[in-house]
Structure formats: C-alpha cells, structure tokens
A = this chain, B = another copy of it.
Amino acid sequence: MATGRTHRPATRSRGIPEATVARLPLYLRALTALSERSVPTVSSEELAAAAGVNSAKLRKDFSYLGSYGTRGVGYDVEYLVYQISRELGLTQDWPVVIVGIGNLGAALANYGGFASRGFRVAALIDADPAMAGQPVAGMPVQHTDDLESIISDNGVSIGVISTPAGAAQQVCDRLVAAGVTSILNFAPTVLSVPDGVDVRKVDLSIELQILAFHEQRKAGEDVAEAAAVVPSAARAVAEAAADSSASVDGDGSGDSRKGPDGDVPAVMPA
C-alpha cells in the first residue's frame, strides 16, 4: 500500500467514508476476476474472502453505495462491477502524465495496471534533454519544458511524480499550476499543495521500515533487547557532508543517477 493520504482531513465524500473508498478497488478487482469466470452472483462471504476483508465490513461498504444485493442470494457480479466502476469514476477516460522517467518511471510506464481500468498514459516527461524523443514503453519521452502545454492539450488532471526527491516539489508546483488536481507521489518528500489538490504518497522506504519494526519486535520478544548501541557512530556520520542548500539535483532522471528516487541519505548504522 502506498503510505497514506496527505490532505483531506475528514471529508466524507458524498457520504462514502474514505476507508470504504480505499477498499472499493479491492472489491472491483475480485469482482472482475469473478466476471471473467462468468460467475453470475456472489455472496458477501465469498467476495469478502476473495478481497481479504471481513464480510460485515464488505456489506457495510456496499450499503453506502446503495442496496445492490438480493437477500438469500447475494450480489449480481456484473451489476456490482458497473456500479463500483461508476462510483470510482472508471467509466471515463483519465489521461495521466508521468514525470521523471528513471528506473521507476519507466517501470510505471510499462505497468499494465495503469492502462487497464480507464487510465491512459498521455505523456512521459523528463528533465534530461538526452532522454527527449527516446522511446519508453513505446512512447517518446518529452522534455519538462513542454510540461504545461502537455497538461492543457491533453486535459490531464492526474499526475504521477517519480523524480528524485529534490525535484519533486518543483515539479509538483508546475503540475498544479498547469491544472493538475490529483498527484501520485513516489518521491520521498512531503509535498505541499494548495487546497483542492489531492496527494497520495507511495513510499517504498517507509514500507520497509515499518516491516523492520515489526520484524524486530518479533525477534526481540523472547530475547532481551540485544542491540549494541553506538550512538556516537550515527552522530559522526551526520556531521559529514553538511553543505549549505539542499543538494538540488535539479532535473535528475538522467543516466548519472543511481536510483529513480534520490533518497535522503540516512544515518548508516553499523
């Protein structure tokens, strides 16, 4: 899972709880699989199992959309697929731009899941002039200079940022100024956006750290905190390389980079 939303305090969009919205895609996926197998109806119990959730929760989620089930029988698969698709806005076309075509950006461009349900990669944008015109996923990469015109010409309202952290906010600002109102951010940075703009964040590093926490807990439950603590080590590393302004690798996304996301160097614990 991506690591959570950013904005949107407690907005229950049209009565549908945020937690429910986050599960609708899950249900949709399970339903689509059933649809392909020509299963006509499904019970809340079966569908819940397929989606990996509680059946009561699933029924309550569906109750927010309306009463689409038949008691004693279950839910009509096709009908539910359509209703959820419509509710999520997947019955319309969503042009998407990906900014930052490094390793991750290229992987996203090739990702089949994007092209499926209503999402269409309208353009790939990178700041590296050497990449301009080069085909990635059968589509020529365009230069950042044309970002604004690309957005407006294609009516893009959803942008994906897979640049290094240093460039993310700048790219974000330009996207928003050009009319983008939803952003999926892969760069390890907190983006600040004006009201009315949604930001969702996917942070690979954070996911791993959360796993590490639980892993440590599992391993350390029986054993008594066996950790060689050397706080001075971390302190020493931190002192090094403390230059003035943040290392602005301006465009990034070039060959010279090592990763798609220039992560903030961390303390390297021994």
Residues in chain A within 8 A of chain B (CB atoms): 1-6, 8, 13-14, 21-22, 24-26, 28-30, 32-33, 35-38, 50-52, 78-79, 81-82, 85-96, 102-104, 106-108, 110-119, 137, 151-152, 154-158, 179, 181-184, 188, 190, 192, 196, 198, 200-219, 227, 229-242, 244-249, 251, 258-270
Bound Cα distance A206, B117 (Å): 10
Query: Which of B78, B208, B213, B239 is within 8 Å of A114, CB to CB?
Result: B208
Task: Say yes or no: B104 contacts A263, CB within 8 Å.
Answer: no
Cβ–Cβ < 8 Å partners of A96 in chain B: 208
Task: Say yes or no: B155 contacts A261, CB within 8 Å.
Answer: no
Cβ–Cβ < 8 Å partners of A251 in chain B: 112
Cβ–Cβ < 8 Å partners of A2 in chain B: 1-3, 202-204, 206-207
Task: Say yes or no: B1 contacts A5, CB within 8 Å.
Answer: yes
Cβ–Cβ < 8 Å partners of A50 in chain B: 190
Query: Which of B52, B117, B216, B265 is within 8 Å of A190, CB to CB?
Result: B52
Query: Which of B82, B88, B262, B267 is within 8 Å of A231, CB to CB?
Result: B82
- Output the nearest chain B residue to A79 by Cβ-Cβ distance: B231
Task: Say yes or no: A229 contacts B86, CB within 8 Å.
Answer: yes
Cβ–Cβ < 8 Å partners of A110 in chain B: 103, 258-261, 263
Which of A5, A113, A263, A268 has most B Cβ within 10 Å?
A113
The 5 A-B residue pairs whose C-beta atoms are closest, nearest first, are A1-B3, A1-B2, A89-B216, A112-B259, A113-B205
Query: Which of B182, B238, B261 is within 8 Å of A35, CB to CB?
Result: B238
Minimal beta-carbon separation of A51 from chain B (angstroms): 6
Bound Cα distance A184, B104 (Å): 17
Task: Say yes or no: A233 contacts B179, CB within 8 Å.
Answer: yes
Bound Cα distance A156, B206 (Å): 19
- Output the nearest chain B residue to A105 by Cβ-Cβ distance: B107
4 further A-B contacts with Cβ under 8 Å, apart from A89-B213, A90-B266, A93-B240, are: A13-B214, A13-B217, A33-B267, A107-B107
Query: Which of B94, B104, B230 is within 8 Å of A107, CB to CB?
Result: B104
